[in-house]
Homo-oligomer: A and B are copies of this chain.
């Protein structure tokens, strides 16, 4: 099985999290589930990676956290909300992705492709 190495995703974990936060505030466990679902289990973010991303992004001002007691479980969760600064960062990363894709694909042979466009 081809597995996605963390070294390529590295630096795009933040982007993935921010993307999900664009739809509204969320918290660690849910984000993690959403990533798994959205990618059909192809990418499962590690807990430590996720939570360290949150703290890093909060430090950088990309997200804001707030504590709230959930209505369903009655337990306290740490929610994160994307900031305008975070949205800017997301947009930057999106643009960077386009470039990066172009660059990497110059080094990827297309031998296994059968149909195109």
Binding site for B on A (CB under 8 A): 2-12, 15-16, 19-20, 22, 38-39, 42-43, 92, 94-97, 99-104, 106-109, 112, 117
Q: Are B100 and A4 in contact (CB under 8 A)?
A: yes
CB distance from A27 to the nearest CB of B (A): 18
From B22, B42, B92, B107, A103 is in contact (CB under 8 Å) with B42
From B6, B19, B109, B117, A108 is in contact (CB under 8 Å) with B19
Report the Cα distance A2→B95, complex, angstroms.
7
Q: List the number of copies, as a whole number.
A: 2
Hey, which chain B residues are within 8 Å of A20, CB to CB? 107
Hey, which chain B residues are within 8 Å of A8, CB to CB? 8, 10-12, 96-97, 100
